[in-house]
């Protein structure tokens, strides 16, 4: 088993070298955020030992936006180079035509025990195009020790978070922690900002960009206010650099002990609690804040395993997918890496709950997470998300007010909608 990294600019050359060098029976592409690649390799190794087959593991870029364009290039070339792909929860509609219906191999029982909503999400025109591997929802990480030291409660609202972050950041800096930040999140112009900004907007009562009937709802004062609030953080409780942060940059600052609050996904828990973490034992996890009378909104994320229609070994590929998404692997990944199982029963498993207590405490957050509008916009979702994260980034960067941005976005999305959904 060897490891390669694929990046869009190198794709043609890399793809060619894979086919020549390939001795393995299968190739799987996995993410490499945090401990993701290692966990994937360990799971694959267990299957290799069990079956005697060999698998090549290929890593992909961390940004979901970059991964998507890489996969689109590979699939639109009908390439046989990658058999199994780790695909984002917002991609089934975009990629379905290139993916195998897993029920053709696994039968009708495929998907049993997994959350129905994810199976529905992965079923396009009656075809189950990916098996759920792990689910994700945005959560708020906070420094228990600093809140206690400075006498502050865990914030319920965005306004409280803003104030608490500012007070503690200033006090810590005055005591010599010059690099202390108040709040870090994912502010780069990419898919991660789509989720962060959706969380701000939805928790202000400003909707989900496009509703489940396909109506564009983003041009409203609550959405504008949510974006303006986030813009006010930049250069105050959040560093200017957050405009270029993905998950891993935010985690780096928080895990290095340099932020009071962080928005991230559950995976950051296992790493923040690891032996070499500066914040081990000092971290709490809770639901994201809301504003006014509205509810907290955790953006729904997650990843699935799909088999390419161009695979030369489809049945074997499906067997590996079934193994990796099965009970044993999901449990191992939950305990070792805090990856949320998609198998409902694992949320009652004592070893899982001991390793990641908030899987129990925040269960409602996970099952009620707010979806990005990938279902109603179908294969136009990529364009919708790009337009939304660009608009949000414009507001964060001070190029537009929230009001201007949502009005321009409404116009842009209406144009996309006329042609696509
Ligand atoms: C996480 C989520 C995924 C999302 C991505 C954005 O990986 O699981 O759904 O698209 O973050 O950065």
Q: What pLDDT, on the 0 to 100 scale, is given for residue 22?
A: 52
Neighbours of 278 (CB within 10 A): 11
* 253 and 226 housed in the same domain: yes
Which domain range does residue 187 map to?
139-297+373-420
Query: What total of structural domains would you count in the chain?
Result: 2
Q: Are 113 and 149 found together in one domain?
A: no
- 216 and 286 together in one domain: yes
Distance 135 CA to ligand 1 centre (A): 9
Q: What is the CATH number of the domain that holds 19?
A: 3.40.190.10
Q: What is the pLDDT of residue 15?
A: 45
Of 264, 266, 234, the closest CA to residue 248 belongs to 264
Residue 11 has pLDDT above 90, yes or no: no
Q: Are residues 143 and 261 in the same domain?
A: yes
Which residue, by CA, sits nearest to atom 2 of ligand 1?
301
Are 284 and 378 contained in the same domain?
Answer: yes
Instruction: Output the CA 136–ligand 1 centroid distance in Å.
Output: 7
**pLDDT the model gives residue 8:** 44
What atom in ligand 1 is closest to the CA of residue 88?
A: 9
Residue nearest (by alpha carbon) to ligand 1 atom 11: 192
| Ligand 1 nearest-atom number relative to CA 136 | 8
Average pLDDT over residues 391-412: 98
What pLDDT is recorded for position 20? Answer: 41
Does 5 map to a domain? no
pLDDT of 19 strictly over 90: no
- Confidence (pLDDT) at 14: 45
pLDDT tens, residue by residue, 123-144: 999 999 999 999 999 999 999 9
pLDDT tens string 104-130: 999 999 999 999 999 999 999 999 999
Domain shared by 222 and 130, yes or no: no
* pLDDT of 220 higher than 50: yes
Beta partners for residue 302, in sequence order: 135
Query: Mean pLDDT in the chain?
Result: 95
Tell me the C-alpha distance between 146 and 142, whole Å: 9
Q: What is the DSSP string of 196-264?
A: HHHHHHHTTT---SB-TTS-B---SHHHHHHHHHHHHHBTTTB-GGGGG--HHHHHHHHHTT-EEEEEE
Residues with CB under 6 A from ligand 1: 64, 88-89, 136, 191-192, 195, 247, 265, 301-303
Mutation test residue for ligand 1: of 93, 136, 190, 263, the one with most atoms within 8 Å of CB: 136
Q: Domain boundary at 322, 344, 367, which?
A: 367
For residue 172, the CA-to-ligand 1 centroid distance in Å is: 32
Task: Please determine, for residue 101, whether its predicted confidence score (pLDDT) is greater than 50.
Answer: yes
Residues 233 and 257 both lie in one domain: yes
pLDDT tens per residue across span 63-91: 999 999 999 999 999 999 999 999 999 99
pTM recorded for the entire structure: 0.95
Q: Which atom of ligand 1 is nearest to the CA of 31?
A: 7
Residue with tokens 């202000």: 204
User: For 223-265, how does the pLDDT look when each residue is reduced to its tens digit (9 = 90+)?
Assistant: 999 999 999 999 999 999 999 999 999 999 999 999 999 999 9
On whether both 206 and 330 belong to a single domain, the answer is no
Residues 6 or more apart whose CB falls under 8 angstroms from that of 62 comprise: 31, 32, 33, 246, 247, 248
284/305 same-domain check:
no
């Amino acid at each position: 088993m060897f490891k390669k990294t694929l990046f869009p600019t190198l794709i043609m050359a890399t793809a060619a070298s894979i086919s020549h060098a390939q001795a393995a029976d299968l190739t799987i592409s996995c993410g490499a955020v945090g401990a993701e690649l290692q966990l994937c390799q360990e799971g694959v190794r267990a299957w290799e030992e069990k079956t005697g087959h060999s698998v090549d593991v290929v890593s992909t870029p961390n940004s979901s936006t970059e991964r998507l364009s890489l996969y689109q290039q590979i699939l639109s070339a009908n390439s046989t180079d990658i058999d199994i792909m780790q695909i984002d929860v917002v991609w089934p509609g975009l990629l379905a035509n290139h993916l195998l219906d897993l029920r053709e191999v696994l039968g009708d029982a495929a998907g049993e025990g997994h959350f129905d909503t994810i199976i529905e999400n992965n079923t396009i025109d009656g075809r189950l195009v990916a098996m759920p591997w792990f689910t994700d929802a945005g959560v708020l990480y906070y420094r228990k020790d600093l809140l206690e030291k400075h006498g502050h409660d865990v914030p319920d609202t965005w306004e409280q978070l803003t104030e608490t972050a500012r007070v503690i950041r200033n006090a810590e800096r005055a005591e010599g922690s010059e690099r202390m930040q108040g709040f870090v999140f994912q502010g780069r112009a990419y898919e991660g900002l789509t989720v962060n900004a959706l969380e701000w907007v939805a928790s202000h009562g400003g909707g989900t960009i496009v509703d489940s009937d396909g109506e564009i709802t983003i041009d409203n004062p609550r959405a504008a206010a949510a974006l303006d609030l986030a813009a006010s953080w930049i250069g105050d409780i959040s560093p200017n650099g957050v405009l270029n942060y993905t998950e891993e940059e935010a985690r780096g600052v928080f895990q290095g002990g340099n932020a009071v609050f962080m928005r991230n996904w559950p995976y950051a828990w296992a790493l923040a609690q690891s032996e070499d973490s500066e914040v081990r034992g000092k971290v709490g996890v809770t639901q994201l804040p809301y504003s006014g009378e509205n509810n907290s909104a955790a953006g729904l994320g997650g990843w699935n395993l799909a088999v390419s229609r161009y695979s030369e070994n489809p049945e074997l590929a499906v067997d590996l997918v079934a193994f990796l998404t099965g009970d044993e692997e999901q449990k191992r990944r939950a305990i070792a890496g805090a990856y949320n199982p998609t198998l409902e029963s694992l949320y009652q498993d004592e070893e899982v709950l001991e390793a990641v207590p908030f899987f129990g405490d925040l269960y409602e957050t996970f099952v009620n997470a707010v979806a990005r509008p990938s279902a109603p916009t179908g294969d136009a979702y990529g364009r919708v998300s790009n337009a939304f994260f660009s608009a949000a980034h414009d507001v964060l960067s001070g190029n537009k007010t929230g009001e201007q941005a949502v009005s321009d976005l409404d116009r842009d999305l209406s144009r996309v909608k006329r042609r696509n959904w």
